[in-house]
Copies of this chain bind each other. A is one copy, B any other.
Amino acid sequence: MNKRPTIRDVAAMAGVSVATVSRVLSGDYPVANATRTKVQRAVRELDYVVNAHARALSGSTSNVVALVMYDVVTPFFAFIASGVEYQATESDRLCLVCTTHGDPDRELEIVKLMREQHADAVILVGGVNMTDDYRERMYRYAKGLEDAGSRLVLCGRPSLGPDFPAITVEYDNAGGAFSATSHLLSSGHRRIAMLGGPIGNTTFDARLDGYRRALEAFRVSVDPALITHGDMSQDSGFRQVQRLLADGVEFTAIFAANDFVAAGAMRALRAAGKSVPDDVSVIGYDDTPFAPELTPALTSVHLPHEELGRTAVKLALQRGEGSTRQHVMLGTHIAMRDSVRPLI
């Protein structure tokens, strides 16, 4: 195992000073052609690569963006990660990925690690419980990261206000729920069950809010019996529908907090001998890749996942005045498939 060559070795072989080598490599400073060639030859000869840590230490930019999310396999997160990774490499950055699995301690740990790394940007993804504790925590994060020269980006979660030192990139969560519910309403449905997610989570609260607003816009009263809660799993959807059925609640349509819940709901309906969409229409949220594969293909609210990720990186990396506290909201649309049918 050879010792890896340093810039000094290159300088020696090329017969120039280290400064010259550095200049050839970064390409900013004028260097005579003959010299440049000599250096480049030496670099190739020695198979030299710079030491990123030395460069970061000296130059003080690490070329890394960090992505912090719940997990890596849920399509919602995976697609945002995909956008982040895409834009990061586009911008010549590397992409650090960390998961919290919902553990605030782990999150704190990660933010600390990112301060150590001097990440150019730290992107926190996904809904949260908007408590005072949360706000305070974020404020500490923002301060710490700012001192380390990093940008904090809140992605797919609400802004903490225009004065908060972070960039926010969200999608129109409530708007999507409004559209979905309106779609059912304008198809004639009036008894629409809302299978919600965990209470208190910004993402699912907003979806519930959109549902309510749509009903109000159509002058349909909100029946609390139609609103249930659970976690975001298929099992949860299954059980919520079972409960509804057992309780004898009447409904002709379901708006599910996300596609997993919708899938579980459809399974429960099938188990109960009800047909989708003939007896009950179902609409999901997130437009997960498996939505079109379900039977029937699931109508769902499509999110610009990848663009959320890309935008987060783009804004964070864009140096300039006032760029530290921006707020972008991306739109959603309904992907119409076969799980919704007009009520005759």
Contacts and interface: CB of A to CB of B under 8 A. Distances in A.
Interface residues of A, number: 52
Contact of A57 (B54, B94, B148): B54
Contacts of A2: 147
A71 B89 CA distance: 13
A293 B263 CA distance: 7
Contacts of A147: 1-4, 47
Contact of A94 (B51, B52, B96): B96
A310 B89 CA distance: 25
A78 B77 CA distance: 10
Nearest to A264: B293
A245 interface: no
Interface stretch (A34-42, A79-87, A206-214): A79-87
B62 A73 contact: no
A146 interface: yes
Contact of A115 (B49, B56, B71, B234): B49
A136 interface: no
Contact of A53 (B4, B62, B78, B289): B62
A7 interface: no
Nearest to A149: B4
A342 interface: no
Contact of A85 (B47, B78, B97, B289): B97
Contact of A78 (B49, B72, B112): B72
A47 B144 contact: yes
Interface in A220-241: 234
Interface in A10-65: 47, 49-57, 62, 64
28 contacts: A2-B147, A4-B147, A47-B144, A49-B115, A49-B148, A52-B53, A52-B113, A53-B53, A53-B54, A53-B117, A57-B57, A71-B82, A72-B78, A72-B81, A72-B85, A73-B78, A73-B79, A73-B289, A81-B97, A85-B97, A85-B98, A85-B99, A86-B99, A89-B98, A94-B96, A94-B113, A293-B294, A294-B295
